[in-house]
Structure 1
Amino acid sequence: MTNIKLALLLLACGFTATAPAQDLAPITQDETTRIVSTLSADAMQGRASFTPGIEKAADFIQNEFQRVGLKPLPGEDDFKQTFSMYRVLPQEQEVKLNGKDVKPELVFAITDNKELEWTNNGKQKVMTVGAQDDFRAVLSELNNATQDVLVLVHPKHKDLFSRYQHYVSSGSVKKELGQSASKVFVLTDQAKATKYEVEVENKIEQLQLTNVGGMIEGKRKDEYVVFSGHYDHIGIQEPVAGDSIANGADDDAAGTTAMMMLADYYKQQPQPERSLLFVAFTAEEMGGFGSKYFSEQLNPDQIVAMFNIEMVGKPSQFGANSAYLTGFERSNLGTLMQQRLQGTTYSIHPDPYPEQNLFYRSDNATLARLGVPAHTISSVQIDKDKTYHTVKDEVSQLDMEHLTNMIKAIALASEGVVSGEDTPTRVDKSQVRQ
């Protein structure tokens, strides 16, 4: 009888049997605003990789982890997980096609070699992208090329060709050199390359990248739960109304802020059952190199789940206090999160934008390829958002109440995994695109 009366009293007060017992008071809007405003300030210069701005952001995150009282990641001496990469910067590109010089603005090359010198000796494959062909599909196909390729692109594709050329001109980042097939693209109305000469010269620099990570050791110290967000962005862009800094407030200062707030929150709780890793990844915008390096430092079989957080500063299409999970169907992590949120004002939904391939466009994909239940939590309406990768992605565009509530929602939704009560199913590696 006492239990029935207590249940009735709880219902009358607006509680349910699944209502959270956690105290979310440490997650405040003021603190959320402080962190996200700092990360997306003009002083960070858009946090592009290999710039003073991202180094300043890394220092700020490290200082916050120290203040909270985290420990370094397993195997690390401090909070900065630094590694080397190669940056490849195009210098000169000369092409002579069928006896005639091609203007430099009609050429771009994708290569990790310092130099290329080609003549029509049969070693390179020659492809033609005709007026009616799908240039995007060809580019995608060539990602897996194993032979050097000279690609003749019809002038009808001039606009897309120019966009790719501009993108490639800023350089690329490689873990190793000379390991991939080279591709040289020429915009031309010629459908055959009876004779050709190609010369390409790149500048190669060995530079450092840095993840920033900390840990709360759990009772089961070798079972890991990862909370992450990428702290890099795209830096300085062409000025728009005098503004050239792409601040990256939603992408992904918001997600990084959520990860940092969760570190502070969980540090104030009793020791968790599983060890919690909090990581700010670098170089997500350049190909996910930070998460790739991180994944190589741990045994993926010991990683129980990854809550990657990306662009959670604006309400989702599902309304206030809601978000979606990319790759929802690939494990039951999303279902476990939904169960934990029952009886609350928060909700998590399957990704409503499957055509956008969001599952593969953030750092979760690296660990998912290793079988980890690794998903990205997001709320951005990616099909409508006008500030994505622009200088308009500023803190003034964020909904601070929503962002703060998203952090609270993730704290509630992750509790079962953190406490060891919930263990999500593994991702089928054979079903994840490499």
Structure 2
Amino acid sequence: MRLDRLAVGLMVGLMVAPVFGQAAWTVKPEWVRAHEEFLASDVMAGRGSATRDEEITATYVASEFMGYGLKMAPGMSSYLQAAEVVSPRLDGHAVLKAGGVTLNEGSDFTLLISSGADVSGPVAMVSGDLKTARVSKGAVVVVGALPAGQAGMQAIGAVQRSGPAMVVVGEDESTQGLYTMFGGKTRTPIRLKDAAAGRTRATIVSVSKAGMAKLAGLGSGTVLSLHVHVVPEATARKTFNAIGYLEGSEPGSGTILLTAHLDHLGIGAPVNGDSIYNGANDDAAGTTAVLELAHALAGGPKTRRNVLFVCYGSEEAGELGSTYFGEHPPVPLKELVANLEFEMIGTQDPKMPKGVLLLTGWERSNLGPTLKEHGALLGPDPYPEEHFFERSDNYALALQGVVAHTAAGWGTPPTYHKPDDDLAHLDIGFMTSAIQSLVEPVRWLATSDFKPAWNAGGEPKRQ
């Protein structure tokens, strides 16, 4: 770590508070870049969910909160909230067998999704329109040619809904892309230790062209088995949330919640020789926004409402950190006035006006339009078909009645879940301006008596 980076970290708590009412607080690009230099550095190894690197990341965020003068949240004895997680870890040497055919993971196939247990069932060959295919529950579906791109993944999803034990598909660009999005690792189920095990998803295997040629000779009904090897964990795995608290002058007036996730995909399959999925945009950028808003609000006049700053762990593994926070909030959820989540604010979306962040679920409540009226560079999400509102940490709280939205830059940038999501591909100027635009609107929200509300029909409901 460079000396100038250490100096920044040590001096943040010594900043002289600005006079409210002037261009009250200036977010400096060197502060924004300094956070990214650390969080997205190769030494952090991609901040994998529920890893030691995630814990180091959470500790960094917590130390910055301390430096800004934030306190521990009510009832907490630390700036870190830890939760134990459970997930099988595989050794990467699975074997597919059927009759005299044996295929090996790595050389013959890629294990995309696994339950973490052995799987077997009678073969069912499927071709044609996969969206209308129906197979027996527990069968092993061997799929012919997939439609190109996203349509191929949607077709697999349609087959999965029939309840097969396993889906075997030929390797192509879409399966390779999916594996890259998983960080070049098999996706296995992960859950909080105290949570009930969820529904087991079908195992998905992507087989090479040569391997598929061998499987093509199998007759329907032949039993195809996948054998996996689980590596015992030496120690319990934990995920970590970093939490800082700014008490308002009227604590009973409610709490504003500002959040992001601090984890990413860790180390994965190399792409162009790079195996570190740095996550500079996803979501070191959002973490940086939370840090610099904490910096600004703590450095200004006391707010009327409390402000809770939280950076969640294990979002990439299934939003485990935010789930745990929702189950163990340091303040009652009914006291939360609003939640603003920050996700991938590191680049400008080409569909948005210059300099403007998209806000998911814009039309669902009056929060976004009101913040915009007070100067926030926010606008409607131009991708309603992607359902981004339901795909971020805000959603679990929204389901519990909290007016909660996510502010984002580019919905799905070219670097999404790839090793080149690094510092070189960030727009620090865009990030800085976006964060700057939110300082006074958020300060106003934390000082006023305005309470955001859902618009008619906008509040999401549990299915």
Superposition TM-score, scaled by structure 1 size: 0.80
Equivalent position amino acid for 2:243 in 1? G
- Higher mean alpha-carbon deviation, 44-53 vs 304-313, is at 44-53
CA contact (8 A) 2:42 2:276 kept: yes
- Higher mean alpha-carbon deviation, 126-135 vs 35-44, is at 126-135
Hey, what does 1:73 align to over in structure 2?
73
Hey, what does 1:419 align to over in structure 2?
447
Distance (whole Å) between structure 2 residues aligned to residue 22 and residue 141 of structure 1? 57
Q: 1:301 aligns with which of 325, 328, 334?
A: 334
Hey, what does 2:395 align to over in structure 1?
365
Distance (whole Å) between structure 2 residues aligned to residue 265 and residue 142 of structure 1? 50
- Higher mean alpha-carbon deviation, 66-75 vs 43-52, is at 43-52
C-alpha spacing 1:72/1:297, structure 2 compared with 1 (3 Å): same
Distance (whole Å) between structure 2 residues aligned to residue 165 and residue 393 of structure 1? 16
Distance (whole Å) between structure 1 residues aligned to residue 28 and residue 110 of structure 2? 52
Q: What RMSD, in angstroms, separates the aligned Cα atoms of the two structures?
A: 3.4
Alpha-carbon deviations, 1:358-385, whole Å to 9, x = none?
A: 22332222222222221111222x45x3
Alpha-carbon deviations, 1:56-84, whole Å to 9, x = none?
A: 32222111111111112233211111111
SS of 2:265's partner is coil
Distance (whole Å) between structure 1 residues aligned to residue 115 and residue 138 of structure 2? 16
Hey, what does 1:55 align to over in structure 2?
55
CA contact (8 A) 2:89 2:231 kept: yes
Distance (whole Å) between structure 2 residues aligned to residue 119 and residue 379 of structure 1? 45
Distance (whole Å) between structure 2 residues aligned to residue 71 and residue 138 of structure 1? 50
Distance (whole Å) between structure 2 residues aligned to residue 226 and residue 141 of structure 1? 37
CA contact (8 A) 1:117 1:199 kept: yes
For the pair 1:174 / 2:191, whether they are aligned, the reply is yes
Distance (whole Å) between structure 2 residues aligned to residue 109 and residue 233 of structure 1? 18
Report matched runs for 1:8-19 at 5 Å.
none
Distance (whole Å) between structure 2 residues aligned to residue 107 and residue 31 of structure 1? 42
C-alpha spacing 1:236/1:350, structure 2 compared with 1 (3 Å): same
C-alpha spacing 1:394/1:223, structure 2 compared with 1 (3 Å): same
- In the TM superposition, residue 255 of structure 1 has moved relative to its aligned partner by 1.5
Percent of aligned positions with the same letter in both sequences?
29
Distance (whole Å) between structure 2 residues aligned to residue 193 and residue 421 of structure 1? 67
Q: 2:138 aligns with which of 118, 121, 124?
A: 124
Q: How many residues align?
A: 404
Alpha-carbon deviations, 1:172-215, whole Å to 9, x = none?
A: 32225754225234665468335455544433543011111111
Report matched runs for 1:227-376 at 5 Å.
227-239=258-270, 243-298=274-329, 299-317=332-350, 318-341=352-375, 347-376=377-406
CA contact (8 A) 2:255 2:336 kept: yes
Distance (whole Å) between structure 1 residues aligned to residue 388 and residue 396 of structure 2? 13
Q: 1:225 aligns with which of 239, 243, 256?
A: 256
Report matched runs for 1:103-122 at 5 Å.
103-104=103-104, 105-106=108-109, 108=111, 110-112=113-115, 115-116=117-118, 118=120
CA contact (8 A) 2:49 2:315 kept: no
C-alpha spacing 1:130/1:49, structure 2 compared with 1 (3 Å): same
Alpha-carbon deviations, 1:110-162, whole Å to 9, x = none?
A: 4545x446566x983555655478652354457778x6x3245454x654445
CA contact (8 A) 2:120 2:223 kept: no
Q: 2:165 aligns with which of 130, 150, 159?
A: 150
Hey, what does 2:38 align to over in structure 1?
38
Q: What are the ranges of 5 or more consecutive residues in structure 2 without an aligned counterpart?
A: 1-19, 123-135, 208-214
Distance (whole Å) between structure 1 residues aligned to residue 238 and residue 345 of structure 2? 29
- In the TM superposition, residue 403 of structure 1 has moved relative to its aligned partner by 1.8
Q: What are the ranges of 5 or more consecutive residues in structure 1 without an aligned counterpart?
A: 1-19
SS of 1:49's partner is coil
CA contact (8 A) 2:191 2:197 kept: no
C-alpha spacing 1:109/1:321, structure 2 compared with 1 (3 Å): closer
